[in-house]
A and B are shown apart, each in its own frame.
Chain A
Amino acid sequence: MSGEAVIEVRDVTRTFMISSGFMKPKRPLHAVNGVNLRVERGEVMALVGESGCGKTTLARMMMGLLPPSQGTIELGGKPISTLDRMTVARTVQPIFQDPYSSLNPRKTIGSIITLPLRVQGDRDPATWEKRVHEIMELVGLPRRVFNNYPNQLSGGQRQRVAIARALINRPRMVICDEPTSALDVSVQSQILNLLQDLRAELGLTYLLISHNLAVVEHIATRVAVMYLGRIVEQTDTASLFESPRHPYSKALLSSVLTPDPTLGVPDTHLGASFPNPLEMPSGCTFHPRCPKAMPHCSQVAPRPIPAPGGHVECHLYDEGAPTYAQS
């Protein structure tokens, strides 16, 4: 870890107060629970995990849309809470999952893509049109769609518009929340190729949120596996996919269905369903579903253990686990 950190998340926790019914006290829901994450320049950091594990909450905090309850997030070395919204927006931009609902249906493509320039109060309106045409060419949109409306475009073209809008202000980092899961297979590969090319051309850094692990393996350089608000394993892509450590990572990887007709449907052994985040299991939050749970797993939360390329939070890899669990 020698590169320059674009964004650094330190011990961040985000708690929501959830109403549990009329006249009943509100209960805390720890959507993100003590997360450390460092994304370096030029990396593609993937965040994977089941729905409800806190991926999107973490991403929203990294875009400055949601303040953390505890901990700090630093953007280019400065705490995000001290920066104004414009500065954050110039540095970090999102691409959302569904290009059908993330584009205003009543605005033309040209005005959707120029909006960030107008909001940022860009001083040189004369160059706007030229810049829009440049970025449209870069993302592979034909010039003629400039005056069209989103409903006249295909799904893949709409996602290209969303990408152009995110990139027009030349951000350093792009947060892609399921960028291809609403798209068809043949379009998905075009968008993935485009994201790869843009990263090389513009020196972008990506945070990729996805549940498609084949996509993650293909384009990510590092992967963080999230479970119930914590990053349980973080390592480089090759290490994770070749030798996953955490039992949850193993289960996730074994559930990937590669198109191989000689294999059947895998059994993940994740019997119990995803736990209710309002009633977090004690100790290691994964212990009720873990095939390798030991007696002390239900009592003591595991600590992060350094592992090649990152860390893993599991008693299996903690040589001091039984002793420090008992002390």
Chain B
Amino acid sequence: MTERILEVEGLSVDIPVPAGMLHPVQDLSFHVDRGETLAIVGESGCGKSLTSLALMDLLPSRATRRASKLALDGQDLTGLSERQMSDLRGNRMSMIFQEPMTSLNPAYTIGDQLIEALRRHRGVTVGEARDRAVWLLEKVGITAARERLRQYPHQLSGGLRQRVMIAMALMCGPDLIIADEPTTALDVTIQAQILHLLADLQREFRTGLILITHDLGVVARVADRVAVMYAGQFVEEGTALQIFQAPTHPYTQGLLNCIPVPGKTARGAHLGTIPGIVPSLVGRMPGCHFAERCRYVTDACRADAIALRDATEPGHRYRCVLSPEETAAHNQMETAQ
């Protein structure tokens, strides 16, 4: 048992489209330790969901995945056959999807769906599997769990369905959970409960968690480390404190200025904006992906690809030609206006 549960180096995804080759995920490197939460934040189309599908090897068939290293608990995943991979999925690594209504099978009871993975991977008896399902449903805060096993997804509310999804992801006691927008479809009150639950369970089972979301509030409260994704690349990564208290990439700064913060943003004042739209990722793009929308763009930004570089603190890296002091000064001027 190593502390490092997932190690990814140089992960890329390519998808052929009529206009050429689409590069939605470009050369990502990251890692997740046991009991740690890594949040991948970004707006729609930045490639965060494809990243999670790439890790699970669930990409659409025409997409190709490349990685120089992809290891789960030291075991290399790149060369695995579909059969070996399906032995891992739902077993050692599992996924929580955004829409509990569409990702649960409406034709099977909750019980059938919960038990399936455990029976498939561990070969336990139906009785044992059912006992674990009941135990987990109770853990995720569902009352009368044994009776619930006989219910169908449509008989449950959205919050309950999402809890069932979480219980299902935990059935085999995975080492890694990838949660793709696990609380986006839920009410704020239930969101808080679900996040609480995820954090408790993660502490208890020492599971690594990759949280994929666009909600900066959720990220700030839950994540240990944060990677900000823009147009297929990580543009900034660091601890939650570093990202929220000393955002260094202009995109991260722009995102944080867009959301009203009670007590900080004056009521009714104009919010920050990021003008322009996300660039097309068809074909190779020289230079900084954010250049078209960046307020501080210079000629140097468009010339060459920009590598991640260290900011002032260790572990905090960003992808910009400006120094941390320069971007901080720019941001201060921006927010003062």
Contacts and interface: CB of A to CB of B under 8 A. Distances in A.
B274 to A, nearest CB: 4
Given A218-B268, A261-B240, A185 B216 contact: yes
B265 A218 contact: yes
Q: Is the interface of B mostly helix, strand, loop or mixed?
A: helix
Nearest to B199: A265
Nearest to B255: A185
A154 B43 CA distance: 13
B192 A255 contact: yes
Given A196-B270, A270-B189, A273-B160, A256 B217 contact: yes
A5 interface: no
A21 interface: no
Contact of A257 (B158, B193, B217): B217
A155 B45 CA distance: 12
A155 B277 CA distance: 10
B244 A193 contact: no
Interface string A240-273: 0100000000011011111111111111101001
B221 A257 contact: yes
A256 B188 contact: yes
Contact of A217 (B193, B217, B262): B262
B260 interface: yes
Contacts of B275: 190
B258 A185 contact: yes
B195 interface: yes
Contacts of A211: 187-188
B220 interface: yes
Nearest to A216: B260
A324 to B, nearest CB: 30
Contact of A265 (B195, B257, B265): B195
B260 A217 contact: yes
Interface string A183-195: 0111011101100
B192 A257 contact: yes
Contact of B260 (A214, A238, A270): A214
Interface in B89-129: none
Contact of B217 (A189, A238, A258, A270): A258
Given A185-B214, A186-B254, A261 B267 contact: no
9 contacts: A50-B189, A186-B254, A189-B259, A214-B261, A251-B189, A252-B189, A256-B217, A257-B218, A273-B160
Q: Which 3 A-B pairs have the closest CB atoms?
A: A257-B217, A218-B260, A189-B271
